[in-house]
Structure 1
Amino acid sequence: MRDQMAFPTLPAELIRHIIFQSTPPKQWGKYWPSTRAVDEVKDFLALRLVCKDFNHIILDYFLDPRVLTTDFDSACLQRSDPPTPQAIRFCRRLLSRHLERSRAGGQINEVSRKFAQQVTGVVDAAVDALRDGEEDGEEVQRLRKTYTEGMAAAVVAFGGLTKAMFQGLAGTKPEREGAENDPDDDGSENEGEEEDDDTEWAWSDPLTMALTAAGILCRVDDMKTLIAKGARPCFEEDAGWIGLPIHGATIGGDVDAIDLLSEHIRRESVLDDDEVMEDCLHTGNTALHYAAQYGHCGAVQWCLKEGFKPDDRNKNDQTPLFLAASSGHADVVHQLLDLDFDRAEKALEPKPERSADEGSAADDADDDDDDDDDDWFATQLAIVDVEADDYRGRTPMLMAVQRGYLDVVQELMGRGALLINRRNPEEYRMTYLATAASRGHEAVFLRLLSHPDIKTGVIDSSGHGILKHAAVGGNENILRKVLSWPDVDINRRGEDDSTPIMWAALLGHESLVQLLIENGAAVDLVAVLVGASALDAAAHNGHEGTFRLLMSQPGVQLERPDLDGRTPLANAALTGNTGIVRMLLAQGNGINPEAPDRYGHTPLMLAARAGDEEVVKILLQDPRVDSSRRDKKGHSALALAAIQGSEDHGSVVKVLLKAVRSRQEVEEALAATEKDNMRALLSSYLQMKS
C-alpha cells in the first residue's frame, strides 16, 4: 500500500480501518496489548503522522470503553513509569486538540464526551473570571484555548491517560468482572462499608482547578485574579485527581508563581509551617518531585530551601532524583547530587567554642538554634541516595541507561556510592552494561565501559552474556566491540537454548546476523525460543532479508519443525508473512507445503484460521496443496475459518469455497461454526449449488 499511494492522502475513515485491522483477533482481546511489544505500541502511536485527522481518530480509539483496559495502561505509559518529556508533550497536544474539537461539536464517543464536558466546565469558569467584562471575541477565544491547553497539561501531569481517570471524570466507576452497573443504585446497601479506590472523582471548585492550570501555564497575573475571585490556593479534595495549585506551579517552574501560592498558603493554613505544602493525594509527589520531573532548576532550589527533602518518596517509592533521571534532566540531577555540598561538609565539622564576650546567653541560644537549622538543611542537601530504587527495584541509573540519557549517566557515574554493576530485578538481572547493549545505546554503553570497576563477563539469570543483549539491541558497533573481547562464546546458549544469532534473526537485524556468521556463529542450532532455529525465528517475524541470508547458508534445514511441529513455512503462513511463504514455495520439492503440525494443521489451515486471505490464495496456487485435508479434530481449512467467523475470515471462506471438492466439506463447516454470518454464507452457497 505504501508503494501505491502516499499515506498523507489516505482518508480518515481508511486510517481508522487500518487501526482496527492492526488489532489482534477478538479472542486475544482480554490480553491485548499487554502481550504486545512496547515497540509495536510505539509504531501504533506513530500512525498519528499519517494524516491531519489521525489525532482525532486515535484519541477516540483510546477513549473507547472497549479499548480502555488496565492492560493497555500497563503496556504503554505505565503509571509507575515516569513518561518521557516527549511523551508528555505529545499527550498534551493530543488532549488539547480533542477538547477543542469537542467544544466545536465534533463527533466523539460518550465516555470522551462526558470527560470533555467536565474539563470544559473548568475552562469556562477560568475564562469567566479572567475575561474582565470583554465580549466573546478573539482575545477571549485565545484565553479559552490557553486554558484548555493548561487543563490538558494538568490531566497528563497528575494522572496520565488512564482508564480509571477518564471513567471517574465521566462520573462512573470502572466496571468489575461479573458486576453490572445499576444507574438507580445509590449505594445505600453498602452504608458503613469502607469505600474502595474506584469511587467517583469529582471537583466541586473549578476556580481552584483553574488556578492549578494557571500555575502550570506560569500566568502569575491570572493566578492573582483567580485568587481574588475565590480560588483557594491550599484546597485539595480528598478524592481529587489533580494536585494542589502549588504542584501546578512547580510543574510550570515559575518561581514567582510558586512564591505567590506559598505566601497565601502560609497565611491561610492552620497547620505548622512544616506541613502546609502536602504531597499530591493522587500520586504522592511533593512539589520537589514535580519540579525535578519537569526539569526546573529554580523550582528545585526553591523547594530545597523550603525544606522539601530530596529523598522523599511518592506512592511508587520514587524520589525526585529518580524522576529527574527518568526524564533526562541532567542539570537537575547535578543539582540534587551536588547542590551546596561544600556547605554541608562545613556544617558537619566541629564548631569552635564561643567566648563570653561574643554576646549574651540569650543571643547564644538563638544562634545555636539557627546553627542547628543550618546543619539540618545542609545535611539534607548533601545526603541524596543515588541508589534509591522504586517499588519495582529500579534505580535512577537504570532509568537513565534504559532511556539512553548519556548526560544523566555521566552525572550519576560521578558519585562514588554508585554500584556500577547493579542488576535489574525486572529483566533477568541484567547489569547496566547489558541493558545499554540491549537498547542499542552506543554512547551510554561506551561510557559505562570506561568505568574502572565495570564487569563485562556477567551472566544474567536467563543464562545469557552481553553478546546476546548486543544482538537484541541491533547496534552493529556495540556488537563488534563485544566480539572483540577475549573468550566471548559466540554460540553461548541461554536456559532456553537460544543463541545470540537466533535473537538477531528474530528481530530482523540482518547486518548483525551477517556479522555473527562471519565470526563463526552456527546457523543450524535449535532452541525453545520462537521457532526452532534462527531461520524459523526470522520466518516467524517476517524478516525477509534476514531469512534470505540464513537460507543461503550451508547446513540450514528449511523444514526443521519447532516444538509444535511447525515448519518455517507453517510459521510464516500463520503470521501472514507472504514474502517468506513465496520464497519457501519457490524451493519446489525441497519444501512440503502440506507438512502438518502436532495438531494436524497444515500451513493452509493455519493461514485460514488466522484469517489471512492473501496467504490462503498463495498456498492454493500450489498444486500440491489439498484444501480438503482435515486436522486431528476432523476440521478442514474451510471449517477452521468458519469457526472463527470475523469479517476477515469471511473473505477467507469465500476464497476456500472456490476450491472445495465436495458438498460434504461445506456441510461439515456449517455444522462446526456457531457464527451467524458464517452460517448464512455457507447456507447460501449450498442453496446455490443444490
Structure 2
Amino acid sequence: MSLGKLPPELYLMIMGNLESQGQLKSLSSLSRTCPTLYELGNPILYEASFNHESKICAALGWAISRNCTGISMKLIEYGMPVNELFQEDAYKYKRLLTPLAMAAEQGRTEIVRQLLNVPEINVNVICAYEKTALHHAVISRNVEIVNLLLAQEGILIDAKCDAGLTPLSLAVSGGNADIVRLLLAQGPLVDPDSRSNRGWSPLFIAVEHEVDAEVVKLLLDTGRVDVNFIDPVSRFTPLIVAVQNNLPDIARLLVSHPTIDPNLGAHNNQVVPIATAASRGFTEIVRILLSHPQTDPDRAIMARSRAILQADIWGHEEIVSMLLADGRVGQESRQLLQGQRILSQKPCAWL
C-alpha cells in the first residue's frame, strides 16, 4: 500500500511525532515520497524550521539558493526572521549572511524584491567580512538589484568591508561600468577617492586590474580623484601602472587630465613613465606621453636610464626616432646616444 493512500489524519499524526522529537530530516524525507504527502507536510516543515534553533533562516536560504520564489514568498509570509544571520553551506569557508545579502549575491532579483517589501527589513546588516547586502549585490554584477538597494531609504552606500573596500571599489575592481555609474550618481554620498586598508584608491584599483577605460573615465569625470595618487607600497602612480601594463587607452585618459604630473616617478625617479615605456617598446604610450606639454623626456635618476638611451639599448628604433624629433630631448642626451652608438658600432648618421 502506497504511503500516499494513508488517511491524511494518520500521516499528520506521524509528522507531528517526528517534529516533536526533532527528527526533521526524517520528516522531510517522508514528505518527499509522493506529491500528496509533500503538500500535506510542507506547512509543518516550515513551522518546524522556525521553531528548531539550528534552522533559523535555513529554509529561506535553501529557497534562495535554488531561486524558489514561491517558497521564499511563503516563508516570508509565515514570518521568517529576515534580518537574522545564518550560516550558508555553499562555500568551503562557511559565511554568515542575511537572506537579503545571499539573494543579492546570487542575483535572485525577485526574492530581493520580496525581502525589500518586508517592513522590518534592514538593508544595512553587517554580514561576513563586514560586507552589506549592497557589497554582495555589486559582487553579483546585477544592475537591477543594485538599483533596488540604492532606492532604499537610509542605505549605507559607502560602507567599507573588512578590507576597507566600498561597493564602488568592488564595482571598479570588477570593471562593471554600469554599476560604477549608478554608484557615482549618488553624488556626495559616495567617495570616489576612498582608500582601502592597503591604501589603494578606486582609480589605482581600476588601472591595476586593467579594467575597461570607461570605468577610469567615470572616476576621472567626477573631478574628485587624485590622479597623481602614489601607492604606499609600490610607490607607483596610476600612470606608471598604465605604462607598465601597456594600457594606451587608460594612459591617454590620465595624461589628458588637467592635474596630471606626467613626470612623476617612483623610487626617487628610478621608475619614470616615459623611460619605462621607451625601454619596453610601447610606441603608442611614448607618443601619448610626448603629447603632454610638460613631459620631460630626459627625466631619469641616471643618464643611462633616460628614455632615448633605453629605447636604443633595447633596439626600439621607432621610439628613438620619435624622441630625436622632439625638441625637449636635450643636447646631453643626444651626445650620450651618439657615444652609445659608437661603442655598440651602430650607425648614428642623424647626429
Q: Is this a same-fold pair by TM over 0.5? A: yes
Q: Hey, what does 2:196 align to over in structure 1?
A: 390
After TM superposition, the structure 1 = structure 2 runs for residues 163-562 of structure 1, keeping only pairs within 5 Å, are 204-205=54-55, 208=57, 211-212=60-61, 214-215=63-64, 218-224=67-73, 233-236=82-85, 241-263=95-117, 266=120, 277-280=124-127, 282-306=128-152, 307-339=154-186, 382-404=188-210, 405-428=212-235, 430-463=236-269, 464-470=271-277, 475-482=282-289, 487-489=296-298, 492-493=300-301, 513-515=314-316, 519=320, 554=344
* Mapped partners of 2:125, 2:205: distance in 1: 27
Q: Is the 8 A contact 2:268 2:301 kept in 1?
A: no
Query: Aligned AA for 1:478?
Result: I
How far the C-alpha of 1:462 sits from its partner, in A, is 4.7
Query: Aligned AA for 1:296?
Result: N
How far the C-alpha of 1:515 sits from its partner, in A, is 0.8
Give ranges in structure 2 of 5+ residues lacking alignment. 1-24, 36-52, 88-92, 322-342, 347-351
* Mapped partners of 2:240, 2:64: distance in 1: 41
* Mapped partners of 2:275, 2:159: distance in 1: 38
Q: Is the 8 A contact 1:501 1:516 kept in 2?
A: no
Q: Is the 8 A contact 1:326 1:399 kept in 2?
A: yes
Q: Hey, what does 2:327 align to over in structure 1?
A: none
* Mapped partners of 2:109, 2:59: distance in 1: 18
Query: Aligned AA for 2:297?
Result: V
Say which SS state the counterpart of residue 519 (structure 1) adopts.
Answer: helix
Query: Aligned AA for 2:239?
Result: L
Say which SS state the counterpart of residue 130 (structure 2) adopts.
Answer: coil
Q: Judging changes above 3 Å, is the alpha-carbon distance between structure 1 residues 277 and 334 closer, same or farther for their aligned structure 2 residues?
A: closer
Q: Is the 8 A contact 2:229 2:238 kept in 1?
A: yes
Higher RCO (CA < 8 A, seq sep 6+): 2
How far the C-alpha of 1:231 sits from its partner, in A, is 7.3
Query: Aligned AA for 2:255?
Result: L
Computed over aligned residues only, the root mean square deviation of the Cα atoms, in angstroms, reads: 4.2
Give ranges in structure 1 of 5+ residues lacking alignment. 1-123, 135-202, 267-272, 342-381, 505-510, 521-552, 557-690
Alignment TM-score, normalising by the size of structure 2: 0.63
* Mapped partners of 1:129, 1:326: distance in 2: 47
Q: Judging changes above 3 Å, is the alpha-carbon distance between structure 1 residues 462 and 255 closer, same or farther for their aligned structure 2 residues?
A: same
How far the C-alpha of 1:489 sits from its partner, in A, is 2.7
Q: Judging changes above 3 Å, is the alpha-carbon distance between structure 1 residues 236 and 130 closer, same or farther for their aligned structure 2 residues?
A: farther
Q: Judging changes above 3 Å, is the alpha-carbon distance between structure 1 residues 472 and 518 closer, same or farther for their aligned structure 2 residues?
A: closer
Percent identity, please.
25
* Mapped partners of 1:483, 1:516: distance in 2: 16
Alignment TM-score, normalising by the size of structure 1: 0.34
Say which SS state the counterpart of residue 131 (structure 2) adopts.
Answer: coil
CA-to-aligned-CA distance 1:147-176 (integer Å, 9 cap, x gap) = xxxxxxxxxxxxxxxxxxxxxxxxxxxxxx
* Mapped partners of 2:307, 2:68: distance in 1: 55
How far the C-alpha of 1:303 sits from its partner, in A, is 1.9
Q: Judging changes above 3 Å, is the alpha-carbon distance between structure 1 residues 555 and 324 closer, same or farther for their aligned structure 2 residues?
A: same
* Mapped partners of 1:264, 1:129: distance in 2: 32
